[in-house]
Chains A and B, each alone.
Chain A
Amino acid sequence: DADVTQTPRNRITKTGKRIMLECSQTKGHDRMYWYRQDPGLGLQLIYYSFDVKDINKGEISDGYSVSRQAQAKFSLSLESAIPNQTALYFCATSDGTVGTEAFFGQGTRLTVV
């Protein structure tokens, strides 16, 4: 089983619908992140969480919200999906030590029509 699991892997939804992307991890890390990737733009940070009581906005948080239900679970919601939110979404975790890498889930490809 993957250390960082994202569900669903692929999703097509209609404009205006609410959608939730889920992420769970078995690495025991405190820090979790949601990134969005568009072609040619690298990874843009949406939200990140230090622990279950700590939620922080990233570079592009407008139109998104998150919930940290437990140390191991971090969900991303699109309250009212719009077509320009079509992208590849990645969840990542890290333990916060300087130099420690982030571990990524397999990604969720979201299409908003």
Chain B
Amino acid sequence: RKEVEQDPGPFNVPEGATVAFNCTYSNSASQSFFWYRQDCRKEPKLLMSVYSSGNEDGRFTAQLNRASQYISLLIRDSKLSDSATYLCVVNLRAGTASKLTFGTGTRLQVTL
């Protein structure tokens, strides 16, 4: 079983649609959680951190369910510029180490 699993997509949605991505992680001791965005052939960019209580940043809402080891990202009112690959990322901390474990990403294509 992969440490972080995501549906690879692609998700093809029209502008203005609401789209949701899900992610599961296998290590119950995981400490912190993030969504990154990666455009084609570019570096991952931090989209938002995910808090236990859930958090919202404009059109983006992230949720964390520790009991189910499940993370979600909701994008409302999709824009063409939202087209990218969305990476679910988990911080597996052991001692002083702080390495990130990435899912393979969910590809989103927003169309006119």
A and B physically associate: no
